[in-house]
Structures are given as C-alpha cells and as structure tokens.
Amino acid sequence: MLKNIRIALWVAVAVSLVGVSVLLWRADRQERAAAFKPEFSLPDEAGTLHTAEDFRGKHVLVFFGFTNCPDICPTTMAEVAQVMDDLGPEAAEVQPVFISVDPARDRESGLGKYLSAFHPSILGLAGDEAATQAAVGSFKVFSERHEDASAPGGYTMSHSSSLYLLGPRGDWLRQFEYGTPADDITADLKERL
C-alpha cells in the first residue's frame, strides 16, 4: 500500500517536471518570437538592393502600402514625415522605409518621387512578387489583391496598416496602429534613441 503511494508520488513528480519544462520551453519560444528579426531584400527605384542588414545601428520605421491608395497611405506617410521633422538631429538615426505591396504599378508611376514629396528620407522599395511576398511573410503582416471594378486599374490592395518599428539590431520592437499621432511616435522614438 505504502509502496503504491510512493510510486504514485514519484509519478506525480515526474508529470509536474514535464509540465514545468513544457512551460519553460513555451516561454522561451514566446520570448524568441517577440524578438524576431524580420528580413527583406528589395530594390529601390534605381535597382539598388536593400536588406534589413543595411540598416543595422538605426531604428527603422516600416510601412507596407501602395501609392494608388488615396487615404491611409498618404496619411501615414504624412505622419512619418512629421515624425522625421520633429526628431531634429536625431532623425539621422531613424530610417523610414515604404515597402510597396503593388510593386509593378508603383515602379511605373514613380515611387521615389511620390515618397520624397512627403519627406526626402523615406526610402521606397518595390521588388518582384516573390521578394515582396517574402518580406510580407517575414514581417508576419498581410497584403492581398482584390479585383474591384470601382478601383483604378480594376483592383485594389488590402494591407496591414500599422507602422512597424525595428531596433538597431534588426529586431522587431513594436508597431504603431494606424492613426497613432505623430507626436506619440516621436516621443516613443526619442526615448529609445
């Protein structure tokens, strides 16, 4: 009888040890997931390839959008431009990047000229379909083409609307939801720089 209880207790100890290690393993995985490093390798308008590695040492603000979008994309670029102005000399430590989710059309219509009208520091990247999807997947964001007769060219893109912040080691720090005031983004960045 006593022997049976002792065995049962040891079994309980073994089960709880397994449970604890599963929990620890999960916590470790979550921590690693939180500090993941999104990657991209995409050309600018001149064809120069840019990767996440290029911006080591800087904070990077990444937005996925397309320039045929008249509302949310220009509004966000206007916020980013304001942030870059308000950062003053510290702006040199921040690189804003616009990754086109509609690259063929955006290359044709002059992505660089469009973005520099907001702020000269914004880098526009437009790759091929595969490289764009790889970037979208790596950031764990979303973009999808919708056929839509009421849109210019007969289609529109839905896309993640947040602004993503990468740290100086290329790790994911946070995202700013659409509509976050420029002042809040500037204040967050100033604390980190």
Partner 1 sequence: MMNSTAAAFVLAAILPATAFAECVEVTQGNVTVSAAWSRATIGTERPAVFYVTVRNDGSEERLMGIETPVADVPMLHETVVENGAARMSYVEQIVIAPIDAVSLEPGGYHGMLMDLQTELVEGTTFPVTLLFEKSGPVTIDTAVLPLRAREAACEEAL
Binding residues: 69, 73, 159
CB of 50 to partner 1, least distance (A): 23
Dihedral (Cα; 40, 79, 106, 53), 10-degree rounding: -20
112 in contact with partner 1 (CB under 8 A) = no
Nearest Cα residue to 156 out of 67, 75, 74: 67
CB of 22 to partner 1, least distance (A): 29
Among 12, 117, 120, 174, binds partner 1 (CB under 8 A): 117
Among 75, 86, 90, 168, binds partner 1 (CB under 8 A): 75
Q: Which stretch binds partner 1 (CB under 8 A): 24-32, 54-62, 87-95, 172-180?
A: 172-180
Q: How would you classify the pairing of strands 94-100 and 59-65?
A: parallel
Half-sphere exposure (Cβ direction) of 7: Cα atoms closer than 13 Å = 4
Mapped onto helix, strand or coil, the DSSP state of residue 96 is: strand
Please report, as residue ranges, which positions from 76 to 105 form the binding site for partner 1 (by CB under 8 A).
77-79, 81-82
72 in contact with partner 1 (CB under 8 A) = yes
Give how far Cα 75 sits from Cα of 37, 70, 125, Å: 27, 8, 19
Please report, as residue ranges, which positions from 4 to 63 form the binding site for partner 1 (by CB under 8 A).
none
Among 7, 22, 158, 183, binds partner 1 (CB under 8 A): 158
| Alpha carbon distance 169, 158 (integer Å) | 29
User: How far does Cα 76 stand from its chain's mean position?
Assistant: 14
178 in contact with partner 1 (CB under 8 A) = yes
> Residue with structure tokens 């309980």?
12
Among 95, 100, 132, 162, binds partner 1 (CB under 8 A): 162
Among 54, 58, 110, 168, binds partner 1 (CB under 8 A): 110
Distant-in-sequence, close-in-space partners of 55: CB < 8 Å, separation ≥ 6? 95, 97, 166, 170
Q: Can you give the binding site for partner 1, defined by CB under 8 A?
A: 67-72, 74-75, 77-79, 81-82, 109-110, 113-114, 117-119, 141-142, 146, 148, 150-152, 156, 158-162, 175, 177-179, 182
